[in-house]
Amino acid sequence: MRLHNTLSGQVEEFKPIEVGHVRMYTCGPTVHDYAHIGNFRTFLFEDLLRRVLLQQGYRVTQVMNLTDVEDRIIKKAAEHGQTIDEFTEKYIEAFFEDLDTLRIERAEHYPRATEHIFEMVSLIDLLNEKGHTYVTDGSTYFRIASFPRYGELAHLDHAGLKAGARVDVDDYGKDDPRDFVLWKARKPGEQSWETPLGIGRPGWHIECSAMSMKYLGESFDIHTGGVDNIFPHHENEIAQSEAATGKPFVRYWMHAQHLQDAMGEKMSKRLKNFTTLRDLVAEGYQPRAIRYALLTGAHYRSPLAFSPELLKAADSAIKRLDEFAVRLGPIPTEAEPTPDVRKRWDDALKDDLNLPAAVGHLFEFIKAFNTRLESGKATPEERAGAMAMLRHANRILDVVEFPEVVDAEVDRLIAERQAARDRRDFARADEIRQQLLGMGIQLDDTKDGTRWKRVR
């Protein structure tokens, strides 16, 4: 298995620290609003990574944080006259609903920042002891000058950082503009925690270090997020984690590219050019088409422009997969996937999660196998293998609807209609077809007889 590592900028052979067990931390949502589909592109990339690792036989321990204390949350909660918990509850709930809608597998842990204040304070304490911090007006800062390797992940050198640095955009004082805040002193009206560091609240970056190390250890395998997290968030995580433990923090950093709007601009809350999952579902798009579009529309490291056309193409492609399943019919699933196709599929995914290529191989196979089915050459064994292959692929894609095994009533009506057709009573035949359609069953007449499938 090969994965792209932002640290080296290269695709590298993946080897977990513990043989057969992958520990990964996936940066989760800030629950100040509904997540938009750009956010979900990243979460789907992480779902892909998780599923591929599992399919490769790894045990996976995945942690996804819920950032529930942050500037926007504090501001909005105050505007609503609510506590942080009251305000974020709705969006946390919505987030999990959205994960289900997109069939994103659950991680093992979803730690919340507000429930790990103690761990964060402990970590900051450790940084204090080791001389990486300073305090100004009750806020604690990380001194970047104390961590020479700073900039390694984002490939920025200190000089470059200085050139790009702006002066103090927030209200907190720093010795050096590059430094970042670990603990923010309480400001009037803000929810705060009373700790040995003073009354205040944690900075953003420290939560991920504290929570990832709590659940995964001081060194773990994979840490993911959107590319916008590379700098400063992940860079800061490395600095504070490694400064505290003296150990390598993360071995493989993986980042998903952005989803763009139809104009090719980054989708973001700030630009107000975003779409939520809920909007799309309300517009009548199938969730599985959204899943398919975001997952296969482009390799995860390439930008993807989102458009209605993309969704429509996804919808049609899924229908083709459904149709293939219907055509193979309800058959046993114990068979092994068609070997050569399986190999091409697996190899593509093992090559830095190249799902677009894998899907290409799958469709190539489907096209060829349809030809065999058409000519009547496909053996029952081959059909079983093809079905197993489709199921194998669908363990990653999770978009196909497989035909149900039997439905006696449907079979009876189909037989009755066939009898009508045999005596050329097409009026009766069409009547039965309409009747079944009313039951959500669509009939397809083929050379091999009549097939049926459920329609929406």
Partner RNA sequence: GGCGAGUUAGCCAAGUGGUAAGGCAGAGGUCUGCAAAACCUCCACCGCGGGUUCGAAUCCCGCACUCGCCUCCA
- Asked if 86 contacts 50 with a C-beta cutoff of 8 angstroms, the reply is no
Residue 8: other Cβ atoms inside 10 A: 10
Token pair recorded at residue 221: 């395998």
Rounded to whole angstroms, how far apart are CA atoms 315 and 308?
11
Closest to RNA by CB, 195 or 224: 224
62 binds RNA per the rule CB under 7 A: no
429 binds RNA per the rule CB under 7 A: yes
Question: What minimum distance in Å lies between the beta carbon of 18 and RNA?
Answer: 26
- Looking at 85-93, 253-261, 276-284, 382-390, which segment touches RNA (CB under 7 A)? 253-261
Question: What minimum distance in Å lies between the beta carbon of 33 and RNA?
Answer: 8
- Asked if 400 contacts 363 with a C-beta cutoff of 8 angstroms, the reply is no
Candidate list 89, 125, 152, 228; residue touching RNA; CB under 7 A: 228
Enclosing H/E stretch for 226: strand 220-226
- Looking at 130-138, 281-289, 352-360, 397-405, which segment touches RNA (CB under 7 A)? 352-360
333 binds RNA per the rule CB under 7 A: no
- According to CB under 7 A, which residues from 35 to 54 bind RNA? 35, 38-39, 41-42
Q: Tell me which amino acid residue 277 is.
A: L
- According to CB under 7 A, which residues from 117 to 176 bind RNA? 154-156, 160-161, 163-166, 169-170, 172, 176
Interface map 197-226 toward RNA (x if CB under 7 A): ------xx--------------------xx
Candidate list 254, 359, 393, 436; residue touching RNA; CB under 7 A: 359
397 binds RNA per the rule CB under 7 A: no
The CA-atom distances, in angstroms, between 334 and each of 206, 372, 392, 393, 420 are 48, 22, 11, 15, 37
Closest to RNA by CB, 155 or 247: 155
Question: What minimum distance in Å lies between the beta carbon of 254 and RNA?
Answer: 11
* 66 secondary structure, DSSP code: B
Q: What are the residue ranges of helices labelled H in 331-398?
A: 339-350, 355-375, 380-397
400 binds RNA per the rule CB under 7 A: no
Closest to RNA by CB, 17 or 315: 315
Rounded to whole angstroms, how far apart are CA atoms 72 and 92?
15
Kindly determine how many residues on this chain lie close enough to bind RNA according to the rule CB under 7 A: 100
- Looking at 88-96, 245-253, 310-318, 398-406, which segment touches RNA (CB under 7 A)? 310-318
Closest to RNA by CB, 169 or 406: 169
Candidate list 256, 349, 388, 413; residue touching RNA; CB under 7 A: 256
The CA-atom distances, in angstroms, between 31 and each of 70, 191, 247 are 9, 16, 31
The SS3 call for residue 261 is coil
Residue 255: other Cβ atoms inside 10 A: 23
Rounded to whole angstroms, how far apart are CA atoms 435 and 264?
47
Closest to RNA by CB, 214 or 361: 361
Rounded to whole angstroms, how far apart are CA atoms 214 and 23?
12
Closest to RNA by CB, 154 or 281: 154
Closest to RNA by CB, 213 or 358: 358
Helices (H) and strands (E) in the chain, counts: 15, 15
